Chain A
């Protein structure tokens, strides 16, 4: 077995506030292999984005990684000195943020922003970098790139801007791309194009992709594997077909019910009653237990750990009990 591009082991991220230390990520583990697209899905505040930020080393005080490890192609990167992790960012891990409208510096031409990034990570000359920038823009599907390279961000539409952002993320040929809700802020009609672009790039370059989203439709279309997060933990992880067709975790079940039958229809997660607990008030035991229709006593006391269940892994006492019984 080859070394995964990204390997996260028992990651813990805390935010130290004056009242308490809030654990935003509590023991998350997953791998992404070369060329693989891992979808990370969950409600707001489930810890999806924080996981992405932790991987790329952008957790700022008062937040900190308090445990676990992150390995990029076998190299541990979670405790690198600032300067070294900087070299990793952009070079080996590309990042795409949610809102292309605010991700680009409005005062700089997009070409300059790309050239700047390229030249930070390579020793290409100014003109070579510029040529590369134009190629990149062409690659992400921007028409007339040699002209648009001198445009300012505000001259681009949202979808086009997200393409620019993608170009920026891949300009140093990274091993891993973290796409944090790359389509949320876009028109529905554009969303599919962007997702397709990310997928194509991942395939063409053999890049691993971590796609953070709350949109199950996107997950179903794009990902090879999917991780369902809830309250800073992974509730369920597994190949996308399995998880989508046969979700095990009660939360995942609810979530999958939200997959629209037709693209573009209501995607709201309305099936599950109640809402995710605040970080300061995560209940003991399984964090999902107050909303869970199947919860029993153990769920309120003991925290379930992710256990393999076929190709999937699920953190739920329901399956643990089944496992126990079958073992017995």
Chain B
């Protein structure tokens, strides 16, 4: 188990270094940051001196080394746009993104699993077909279109929900939350739905497929032959076995949710990391872009690790294979 965790952790570090190289080399050439720092009529001499002070004239390898060393200490430099340390900005924005992502995931899980189980067990009912239809539409409509439609309908036309932002937030230590105020909760609704819809349909379809698969297995047949009640078979045996892969997928999808939040946050002007990333891309704010990519990768990698470990807890078979030295 320890060896397994260690091996996975080593892999994670490898991934992080690879991402570091990619993000650095990508952003190093994505546009001239100096133009963002100064106004259009700044003299060339001044631009040159800024370039120098930013170290943009050093050899690329030197820049990369400096970048890695700093990143390892969570020092991502200062944002060109905001003139604040990127780590501070990220910490400020992270709660917003995580809160949104978690809400969206919870929403997706709860409704996805319910709908999936229902449509697997009652395959031919009208409601199951309706769920199928909803799920198809859910994966067929691009996120941005859904967001715009929701805003148009619920914020502009009906005026029920706020169209942008997080509402009032409450500060708990370094964390800010919108979950404790009415306006914060209201502000969460549309972005969570927009972000969660795709995951929900994904989970629903996955649950349905897995459930159908599981219901066909020998141990379910044997469970029936043992005379267990339908309820025990469906919700004890079948559901538990169904949820094992679903947990993995949902866990891995959490990374996607954070990445897809880029779009949702842009549409709803949600003050999270994704919005900051998009703004950073537009303004070639290299430190923010690099830090975002690394942070998101770190989250991905961590989730992967956690999911792997979680998986072994849920599935005793894997625990056995893993504890055995490979």
Contact = CB atoms under 8 A, between A and B. Distances in A.
Q: Are A and B in direct contact (Cβ within 8 Å)?
A: yes
Interface of A: 56, 58, 82, 86-91, 94-95, 97, 99, 102-108, 116-117, 120-121, 152, 154-155, 165, 168-169, 172
Contact of A152 (B226, B229, B240, B316): B316
Nearest to B243: A107
Interface in B175-195: none
B227 A106 contact: no
Interface string B311-326: 0001111001000000
B317 A58 contact: no
Contacts of B320: 152, 154-155
Listed residue (B223, B232, B240, B241) with the most chain A CB atoms within 10 angstroms of its CB = B223
Contacts of A91: 227
29 contacts: A86-B228, A86-B229, A88-B227, A89-B227, A90-B227, A94-B225, A94-B226, A95-B226, A97-B218, A97-B221, A99-B218, A103-B219, A103-B222, A104-B219, A105-B223, A105-B241, A107-B240, A107-B244, A107-B314, A116-B236, A117-B226, A120-B227, A120-B228, A120-B229, A120-B232, A152-B320, A154-B317, A154-B320, A169-B226
Contact size range, B: 20 to 34
Nearest to B241: A107
Contacts of A87: 227
B8 interface: no
B237 interface: yes
Contact of A165 (B222, B230, B240): B222
A116 B221 CA distance: 15
B224 A89 contact: yes
A97 B225 CA distance: 9
Listed residue (B222, B314, B320) with the most chain A CB atoms within 10 angstroms of its CB = B222
A91 B219 CA distance: 18
Interface string B235-276: 011001100100000000000000000000000000000000
Interface of B: 217-219, 221-230, 232, 236-237, 240-241, 244, 314-317, 320
A172 B226 CA distance: 9
A257 B5 CA distance: 57
Contacts of A168: 222, 226
Given A95-B226, A116-B232, A120-B228, 16 more contacts: A56-B225, A58-B221, A86-B230, A87-B227, A88-B227, A94-B225, A95-B225, A97-B218, A99-B218, A102-B219, A106-B315, A106-B317, A152-B316, A154-B317, A168-B226, A172-B227
B72 to A, nearest CB: 40
